[in-house]
Amino acid sequence: MLHTNENADFELKIILRLLCPALHCHIDGMFLILYLVSCIRGAQEEDPPDPQLMRLDNMLLAEGVSGPEKGGGSAAAAAAAAASGGSSDNSIEHSDYRAKLTQIRQIYHTELEKYEQACNEFTTHVMNLLREQSRTRPISPKEIERMVGIIHRKFSSIQMQLKQSTCEAVMILRSRFLDARRKRRNFSKQATEILNEYFYSHLSNPYPSEEAKEELAKKCSITVSQSLIKFPKEREKDAQATGKLVSNWFGNKRIRYKKNIGKFQEEANLYAAKTAVTAAHAVAAAVQNNQTNSPTTPNSGSSGSFNLPNSGDMFMNMQSLNGDSYQGSQVGANVQSQVDTLRHVINQTGGYSDGLGGNSLYSPHNLNANGGWQDATTPSSVTSPTEGPGSVHSDTSN
DNA sequence: TAGCATGATTATGA
DNA sequence: TCATAATCATGCTA
């Protein structure tokens, strides 16, 4: 939870501290300006509006602090709502934001009211004083005008201070609630596992296609709202946005893997072994299936001669083998990929070495001399038509 | 509470 | 335009 009660109190104190000096300052100067205050209002009305004051007014209006109340909301609140994606979790935070904004609004209006009230009191008081003074000495209009000028400036600055403080308070609130980086949340363990499985089973080319990303997001139950990040445009297209989350994950993973292969090797082995178990079952099933349905299928069981119809996503294909959401008959490709996986596991355990040994799908050697990912599937092996060198999956991250 | 892990953003280069 | 590298900010854990 980002905002505990303690935090709320702390924020409120800051806001109060920001707001109150304006009034205190005003009270300090009260006696100095007392007897001429009555003239201020008229003078204020005549003067052209201060551009700075106008800016502050506009901002306060836009934020819903001044002006008519919009159900406790504001443009910023709306933005917060939009950014939240509408999950229950976020609606809590959204209402929290709205509550805080309402507090600021209340404080602002209370202070403004006090201010107005003080003005009225001064006016009455000054009227009395002037009446008394005019009996003892003549008061010239010029003198009054000069003093009015001084007081006018004083009043403007006080007003400006109040508005500025309120704006600052709103800005602090906004930044706390709307700063996406503060909204980072870890994916679930299961989601991370699914992503890792995909990553390590595609270590030769860990660039999932858009479809794969969407599917991964679905399988991981990743939603835009879960991430809480801001996608001004993408938010409208959930799939794109979730795809971005997957992209972020893969982007980070690729970099961190490359930076510290040694550290990730163990993890890679773990996932490879895990995949291999599934693969073994799949191979058996596929072989059996081929024998039953198409004993003369040319590609069945051969190595290195498959032409994958799509990106060659072993992981995804395995999902289909497991009766999951993926469709299409890619048994041959699956067999090949899974055989590769098995080979990798064998290689990792050091018990077997063949022609693929130096070109293991899971070997760090997949990184080329330039530090980029080398397509280990090229050219004669399990090359996907969409996965040649330099034609990596689009992994839109920005 | 420090240190590490990790999701997200930004700058940069191809 | 996209991937990478660097960085930031938060979450998690010992």
Assess whether A199 (CB) lies less than 7 A from strand B: no
- Using the CA of A230, give the nucleotide whose C1' is nearest: B8
Residue A293 pLDDT class (50, 70, 90 cuts): low
Output the pLDDT for position A250: 92
Mean of the per-residue pLDDT values of chain A: 61
Output the pLDDT for position A185: 79
Distance of C1' in B9 from CA in A49, Å: 40
Give, as ranges, the nucleotides of chain C with any atom within 7 Å of a protein CB.
Answer: 1-12
Which CA-bearing residue is nearest the C1' of B8?
A: A181
Distance of C1' in C12 from CA in A138, Å: 77
Assess whether A249 (CB) lies less than 7 A from strand B: yes
Output the pLDDT for position A372: 60
Distance of C1' in C5 from CA in A258, Å: 11
Which CA-bearing residue is nearest the C1' of B10?
A: A398
Which CA-bearing residue is nearest the C1' of C2?
A: A396
State the CB neighbour count (10 A cutoff) for residue A357.
12
CB-based burial label for A389 (10 Å; 0-12, 13-18, 19+): middle
Higher pLDDT, A156 or A186: A186
Assess whether A246 (CB) lies less than 7 A from strand B: no
Q: For CATH 1.10.10.60, list the domain ranges present in chain A.
A: 189-286
Share of chain A above pLDDT 90, in %: 2
Buried b (16+ CB within 10 A) or exposed e, A207-229: bbbbbbbbbbbebbebbbbbbbb
Mean pLDDT for the stretch of residues A133-146? 79
Residues 165-194 of A with CB under 7 A from strand B: 180-181, 183-187, 192
Assess whether A217 (CB) lies less than 7 A from strand B: no
Distance of C1' in C7 from CA in A185, Å: 18
Output the pLDDT for position A179: 57
- Using the CA of A207, give the nucleotide whose C1' is nearest: C3
CA distances, A134 to each of A30, A36, A137, A142, A151 (Å): 21, 13, 5, 15, 20
Output the pLDDT for position A183: 66
Closest C-alpha among A141, A77, A122, A135 to residue A103:
A77
Output the pLDDT for position A141: 76
Residue A291 pLDDT class (50, 70, 90 cuts): low
Instruction: Kindly state the tokens that stand for A11.
Output: 């924020």
Decide if domain A189-286 falls under CATH 1.10.10.60. yes
Mean pLDDT for the stretch of residues A301-324? 36
From the DSSP assignment, how many helices (H) and strands (E) are in chain A? 14, 0
In the predicted structure, residue A365 carries a pLDDT above the cut 50: no
Kindly write down the DSSP assignment for every residue of A301-367, as one continuous string. T-SS----SSS--HHHHHHHHTTSS--S--HHHHHHHHHHHHHHHHHHTTS---TTGGG-TTSGGGB
Residue showing tokens 């104190």: A13
Residues 93-112 of A with CB under 7 A from strand B: none
- In angstroms, the CA A333 to CA A307 distance is 7
Closest C-alpha among A332, A215, A314 to residue A274:
A314
Distance of C1' in C8 from CA in A252, Å: 14
